[in-house]
Structure 1
Amino acid sequence: MVLTLPLTDATHHIINRDILLAMKPKACLINFGRGALIDEGDLIPVMQSGHLQAASSMYLRKNHCQKTMSSGQC
């Protein structure tokens, strides 16, 4: 899935746990839009579970990324 959306009230956290788990196992998520399109609090556990193959975003909140980088999963 590739996101290229602007950040608006309607698109804030448009990608959440339900959407992530509805994606095919081992799918990839690429976000070219603003970071707040993805609920990082939902993304990280889904990534850690192995459901998604990869996720890439140009904008991530620093504190979430630092927590998972130390475990090698950011």
Structure 2
Amino acid sequence: MALTFLFRFADDVVEASDGSLYFSVASTKFGLHDWFFDVLEANLPHGQLLKYDPALNETSIVLNGLCFANGVALSVDQDYL
């Protein structure tokens, strides 16, 4: 089953050595100009960490329910994110 994603507030991306892309999404509910509403709803986190696999042309959720996810980085050895 394919998942469909609506990126309202994706705010960072990093590319892994295998070509995969990891995205932090600050909010799945509010966009850039309404970001403060997400902060006000802090008890209802809308952030995510997503992975796009270009070999499969698929996007998957790595982490869900994050509070205003803002950035993503890989370690030098790429053994943690």
Per the normalisation by structure 1, the TM-score is 0.23
CA radius of gyration, larger in: 2
The structure richer in strand per residue is: 2
